[in-house]
Amino acid sequence: MEKKRLIIALIFLLVCIGIGYLIYRVFFYKPPTPLGAPTGTSTQGQFPQTEEGANLPFSTTSTLPTAENLPETNNGVTTQPQRETEIVNTTLSGATKDSTGGARFYNQLDGKFYRVDKNGNIVALDDQVFYSVQKVNWSPNKNEAILEYPDGNKIYYNFDTKQQATLPAHWENFSFTSQGEKIAAKSLGLSTENRWLITSDPNGQNAVAIEPMGDNADAVNVDWSPNGQIIATSLTGEVLGDDRQEVLFVGQHHENFKSTIVEGQGLVTQWSPKGNQLLYSVFSERSDFKPELWIVTADPDHIGENRRLLGLNTWANKCNFSDERYVYCAAPTTLDTGSGFAPGLADNTPDNIYKIDLQTGLQTQIPLNNNHTINNLFTGSDGKTLYFTDKNQSGLFSVPLK
């Protein structure tokens, strides 16, 4: 009997020891940390799973970021570096590139013309005040312009020599040669037989009638090519249907240039810097009547060759060449069906800016910090800065490119 009680007591003791050991293992035991393993690191000899790797506390890049590439922080909030800068804060028009590497423009508030040099300094081109200028037609390489007023008057003004001349009020659609020594324009008389494509000196002297336009003046776009051989394009070619048009090229001496075909309506054009290519936009049923951007060879010996679609929905007048290979374009982030007929539908739509490589077709977006509906854009003559104006904001903005 006494032996039986001893056995029961021994068993009870062993059970208590076992339960105590289990409690210790479950609630109090911690495995030893291996040498060289930081606290909290797995020691199971396996690579982390995909979802675990996303939280690793180190960079997976091969090199550390440099200080200038690190985003700025403000009380722990990450901010992107400023891209565009408002360099002129006033209501302006007629902004274009300047031969000094910057830009020039007309200040609508004080009626004066100014230059922004490549260092951002703003200097008046002249002390002369020109009130209520409606449109500015700049000479590409000279400090001269043709100014148009709401009442139809036009004057030529040279900011270097102070020479001023009044041009005929019925002259329209002015275009300078690349060196500024001549202009082309439409001379629109009251009767159709007195409507001509003409050339003259910028001050209106030595006018020459080039081609009669008759009832087709609206189909002619005066745009002197940089190589000086073509002074206008005309949509008076063969009728090819609703979505195809033949574009004729007009020279000074009745040249028989080849034509080219465009796949749509609403033609808007822009020459490359040397005049070897023509950038243009058209819209058609195929594009839901949204503008499409195209490029085509346009030097007189090869007009119409290498015509290709660039894959961007925008208008050619929202683009600017930096050289024969690269062009910068502002393209609306969204476009409504039919916007080709009514460009004003995009007046409140933000734009993205793209750099297009015309050799490879590669499009690279130029980042901006804020939304802008871009009116016109152009690169400085040194190619280091992109300038633009906004349809809904006053001022002139710049974006560094290099």
At 3 the pLDDT is 58
Phi, psi of 212 (to 5 degrees): -75, 140
Q: Is the pLDDT of residue 26 over 80?
A: no
Answer with the residue of higher pLDDT: 354 or 71. Answer: 354
Q: Provide mean pLDDT across the span 195-200.
A: 98
The domain limits of the chain are: 229-366
- How confident is the model over 42-72, as pLDDT tens digits? 333 332 333 333 332 323 233 333 333 444 4
Predicted pLDDT of residue 43? 35
Percent of the chain with pLDDT over 70: 80
- Give how far the C-alpha of residue 9 lies from the chain's centroid of Cα atoms, to the nearest Å: 92
What is the per-residue pLDDT for 11? 64
Cα end-to-end span (Å), the chain:
101
Over pLDDT 90: what percentage of the chain? 72
Whether the CB-CB separation of 124 and 114 falls below 8 Å is answered with yes
Among 332, 313, 269, residue whose Cα is nearest residue 295:
269
| 339 strand-pairing partners | none
Return the top range by mean pLDDT from 5-19, 21-35, 95-109, 327-341. 327-341
Task: Compute the average pLDDT of residues 9-14.
Answer: 62
Tokens 């600017």 -> residue: 320
CATH number of the structural domain 229-366: 2.40.128
Furthest-apart CA atoms within the chain: distance in Å: 142
Evaluate if residue 16 carries a pLDDT over 90: no
Q: What would the mean pLDDT of 165-191 be, rounded to a whole number?
A: 96
197 and 183 Cβ atoms separated by less than 8 Å: no
Q: What is the pLDDT of residues 106-156, one digit of tens each?
A: 999 999 999 998 788 999 999 999 999 999 999 998 999 999 999 999 999
Given CA atoms 290, 295, 299, 304 in this order, what sign does their dihedral have? negative
